[in-house]
Structures are given as C-alpha cells and as structure tokens.
Structure 1
C-alpha cells in the first residue's frame, strides 16, 4: 500500500499537516509514504513513519513543477493520494482514493480545515518527528543543568509580522529576572538561514553570558530536537512558532497582520496575543502595503505580552 502525501511549500503550513500523516500511519501501519513538499519543509518529514521518499518540489514558471512531478508519479498505482495543495494532480494519477484540500473559511483554524479533508472527528494535532542523532546533537548545544530555557523566535518571513527585536529582549529580561516566571533562565534565539540580521536587535539587548544564538546554525531536524529541550517559546507568527507548538512546549504566538484564528499555535499549551488592532483594522490603515517590510506589530506592548506569557505559564503549570 502506497500513499502519496502532497503538502505545503512553506514550513508552517507543512508542520500543520504533519498530524494527518501520523493519523494515516495509525490507520494503515503497513502503508509506505511518499511526501511531496517545498524545500523549506523537507526536513520536517525526514523521520516520518514508513517514509519511502521525500520529493522536494521547486516552483517553476507556468506551473511546470506540476508537470515534472506528474511524470515521476504517473507509473505508480497509489492506494491514496492526499493533495493538500489543492492542485488536482490526483485526478491524473492511478489511485484507488483521492482527497483534495479546497480551502476553508478564515475563521476556521488550518488544522481543523486540513483534518476535514479526511473527515476526522478529532483534529489531527501536528507532530514533530526527530531521530536519535538529532537528539544527541541537540543535547550538546547547552548543558542539562536544570535551569529553565526560554526560546525566542524574533524573525518571520515578512517584516510586517515582526515584533521589534528590542521588545523581545525587554520581555525576555523581565521573564527571566529573579522575580520572573523563569528566573535566571538560559535564553535561546532561534531562526532560519539568512535571518541573522533580523534577529540582531533582539540579541543586542540580551545578556551574553546566558544567551545562545542559534539563528541559521542548525539543520531543521536538530532545531526541532532543540525545541523539545526548551521550557517556553515566544515568537512571531512563523514556521518556527508552529514547530515549537508541535514540539509540545508552552508556546505564545505574537500576531498582527495575520489571523490567529486561522494560524495561531495549535495545542493545549499554546496561546496567541495580538496587537491592539485586529487583522482587518491593520489592512484598512492608510498606506498599508504588503510589499513593504515595515512592522505592523508596534501596538503590541511589552506589558501586554508579559501578561500573556505569565498567564500561559501559570495555566501550563496548573495543568
């Protein structure tokens, strides 16, 4: 039995789909999986169960990437083609069953919308698969000395979604102060390749003796294993925020020009905090232009983020 799993190009959307693959494996433990995804997301599936192949699909002009993909898949008879890209390619493949994601309403979380494709009664929670080598590598990044670890994700794929770095630093200093929820915690900064400059402002305001800069330094699988060693994650709406939530650690997502109802971190130990302006108010602001990199997160104060972090931490501790 072979299952073709076509998922997202972007990291965050791909992470939100991982629960579906895990559920299919639970239902069909002997099935072999071929995963199609974008380059940024490939590492997420490296240790997925019963993985036969990962096919990384780079976009090409005029949709030629779909033609190239079809040529590689057309000779296989698939038990199920699950197309979460809404491409319709499954209609042109030999398949016993086909399921295609056709989008959802903005008020529905993406995890629920994806789970509806398989008509699941319970949403399929995102999951992180790591290998033994990844966990060993992550274990060498900082000593396991019992100190709490506060993880920060100050970067994003668009400047509009980025909370100012100096505010990340101020928040971290408050939370890790002697009277904070994570006293004397080690602070770890996460980010992807090429995002070093985006994280510079946050790093500049943090104490060097207990701050670890991991921006652009880890493979995705090692980064995922490192996330699992952290006590708390606070970050912008990004793929790393979803990775933290899927890792099972308390995760606070910061939102402005995106909908937390759709893309908030998923899980019992997660929460979202947004700017004083809602999504539609931001889009209606004079001069709004999605092509610019100006932050739309400025009305989110450090005080408001601190209260949200403390509330989530107390909730997770009481649970």
Structure 2
C-alpha cells in the first residue's frame, strides 16, 4: 500500500534553516528501545534549528515518560498500542497530525508503512520520508547503518548539498533528561541494593525478548566469571517488567515499573551489561557505560555507540574472551 508513496526528500530545492520553526518527528512504534532511539534525532534537530519546536508522533504512552523533561519537545501525539481496541483515540491521533502545519516532517524509519503514511498525511513545506542517504556520501562515516544515526545522516545529507557543513559534525547520543532530584533519588534507591557503598556497581539485565534472551546456564556461567574478574565491584540485577531472572534472583535484584526511576538508578552505576533490549538502550540514554551482548540482532544497527559503549558478538568469543573484551574496553575498571 505504501509503495506508491514517494521516496526521499520532498520539495526541498532550497531552504533557509532559520525558516524551520515547527518540526514533526514520526516514529509510530510503541517499544521502549525504538522510542529512545529517536532521542539523538531530537537533539540533532534542536542543534540545526535551535528556534524550532519539535512534535513527536508515536505509539503508546512511553514517549511522554521518556521525554518528560526534554525542553526541545513541544507536543507528543500518540496512537494507541492496539488501535482496534481504542478506535476513536486512533482516529483522533491521525486527525491531530493532519490538523497541524509544519515546516519539516521527518520519518525516522523508511520501512515503516505507518511512518510513511503519517509523513504523507502531515501538512508540511518539507518532508523527509526516511530513505537512505547516498551510500557514497556515507561510506567513511561512523555508525552509518545504525537505526538512531541513519535519520540524522538523511537530514545532514540534504543540508550539506545546500552548502552547509554538516556531515562530519559530532553525532548526538541517546539521552534521557534526568533532573538532579531524580539522580539523587536514584542514588538512594541503589544504596538499598548494594553491599558496600564505597565500591562502584555493575548492573546486569539478563532478560530479552524471544531469541535475543540468553539461556539460564549461559548467564550463570557469565555471572560466575564476572564475580571472579570484577570482585571489587557490587553486582546487582535490574529486573524486567515480567519480574523474571535468568540467574534465579541469586544477586540483589532491583524491580520497578517506573522507567524514570530505573534510568536514575542506572545513571548511578559504573557499568551496565545486558542483551539487546529496550533496557540496554535506556542504560545508554542514562549515561552509564554500556556493554550490549549480541547473538541474533545486527550490531551495526542496534549496538550501543559513543563514549565507551560497545556491542559484543557473543557467538564469536569464549567466556574468557568476553571478560577480556569488557576489561579491555573499560580501562578505568582495572
């Protein structure tokens, strides 16, 4: 159905960046990770158009929680997760998108049919449908396949063609805006779960959906090695909403459904280790050094990037080599 929707950048022969005052970012997906992954694009739009107001068109309630303190975000328009169960809210969401007028609309993921439709429906002077920038332009640029970075490069490609020097600017990272009060509260929560508050803390997240989830036996071996190699650190587990543990709740386990509190706790630990998941992206956004464990999904698309963050393909390393990778990539933990 979306095949006839035109690709690429619409009606952008020339543009004065100062004229961009209202921007809509389109990502109608309800998952935690996918919503966090638009945070670099929000920062990029705010950098390029500092006087603009940014609206978001998403699915589900999480975005309002995640971007609660983000001054760059003006309005968040949502679709219900299950639109046939809440059909009137579903129609209202689409109507609101159509009722506003924008200077620029950016569809985050080109393969999202609902994203492309929303970009088509929205009233805007300029539209970016999310198609990849010229591979010849991106060939030497970092993270060019990453799902959080591709829409940034799409945006930069156009303005570079207009003579703006954009492509080599520093890339923004995932970020959740936490207040000082939230960070302090997170520190106090963490203290209830650690044995020695003079030691720094490593947080594990042992859950993931589907085939991304490592078996209990794997995690138990991992924990044993981690305790041996990093015995001068507290180690805690961050539990998922499902309240399950792949290590049998064998270490202090923190549980909450409050995403901002979880982020505040994570911001106070030294290292986060977990499989590819929304929680992994939340750790990155909270600013904690993050090691993502990958066995199924593509690291060049989803791995933590920037600072000391990294992804490790666990199918290519032994457990000892995995510990060496963690140790070598985080020298201050030595």
- TM-score w.r.t. length of structure 2: 0.74
1-structure distance, mates of 2:127, 2:148:
19
Distance across 2 between alignment mates of 1:51 and 1:110: 20
Matches within 5 A, 1:145-224: 145-158=197-210, 160-177=211-228, 180=229, 182-193=230-241, 195-197=242-244, 199=245, 201-206=246-251, 211=252, 213-215=253-255, 217-224=256-263
In structure 2, what is the Cα distance between the partners aligned to 1:184 and 1:38?
Answer: 43
SS of the aligned residue for 1:163 comes to coil
Work out whether residues 100 and 117 of structure 1, in 8 Å CA contact, stay in contact via their aligned partners in 2.
no
Corresponding position: 1:53 with 2:70: no
User: Would you say 1:82 and 2:106 are equivalent positions?
Assistant: yes
**Shift of residue 66, structure 1, vs aligned partner:** 6.8
* Aligned residue number for residue 313 of structure 1: 330
**Within the alignment, does 1:229 sit opposite 2:268 as a pair?**
yes
Match of 2:293 in 1: 254
Q: CA shift at 1:58, angstroms?
A: 2.2
TM-score w.r.t. length of structure 1: 0.77
Mark the CA change 1:13 to 1:275 in structure 2 (over 3 Å): closer, same or farther: same
CA contact (8 A) 1:33 1:53 kept: yes
Distance 1:204 1:92 in 2: 49
Specify the alignment match of 1:286 in structure 2.
none
In structure 2, the CA distance between the partners of 1:40 and 1:154, relative to structure 1 (3 Å rule), is farther
Whether 2:130 is the aligned partner of 1:101: answer: yes
Count of residues paired in the alignment: 282
**Could you say if the C-alpha distance between residues 184 and 218 of structure 1 is closer, same or farther in structure 2, counting changes exceeding 3 Å?**
farther
Specify whether residues 305 and 164 from structure 1 end up closer, same or farther in structure 2 by C-alpha distance, changes over 3 A only. farther
Preserved CA contact (<8 Å) 1:39 1:58: yes
| Pair 311,187 (structure 1): closer, same or farther in 2 beyond 3 Å | same
Corresponding position: 1:116 with 2:153: yes
Distance 2:61 2:306 in 1: 23
Seen in structure 2, the aligned counterparts of structure 1 residues 242 and 32 have a Cα distance that, compared at 3 Å, is: same
Of the three residues 15, 23, 33, the one matched with 1:3 is 23
Q: Distance in 2 between matches of 1:32 and 1:257?
A: 38
Name the counterpart of 2:319. Answer: 302
8 A Cα contact 2:314 2:322, kept in partner: no
SS of 2:149's equivalent? helix
Q: Distance in 1 between matches of 2:48 and 2:144?
A: 29
Quick check: 2:78–2:93 contact (8 Å CA) kept in 1? no
Q: Distance in 2 between matches of 1:253 and 1:9?
A: 21
Q: Is the 8 A contact 2:24 2:105 kept in 1?
A: yes
Confirm or deny that 1:28 pairs with 2:49. Answer: yes
Q: Which runs of 5+ in 2 are unaligned?
A: 1-20, 110-114, 136-142, 157-165
- Moved >4 Å (runs of 4+): 64-67, 103-107
The whole-number CA distance in structure 2 between the counterparts of 1:150 and 1:167 is 18
Q: Distance in 2 between matches of 1:103 and 1:26?
A: 21
8 Å CA contact 2:42, 2:72 repeated in 1? no
Distance 1:240 1:110 in 2: 16
Q: Please, what is the CA RMSD of the aligned residues?
A: 3.0
Unaligned runs of 5+ in 1: 278-299
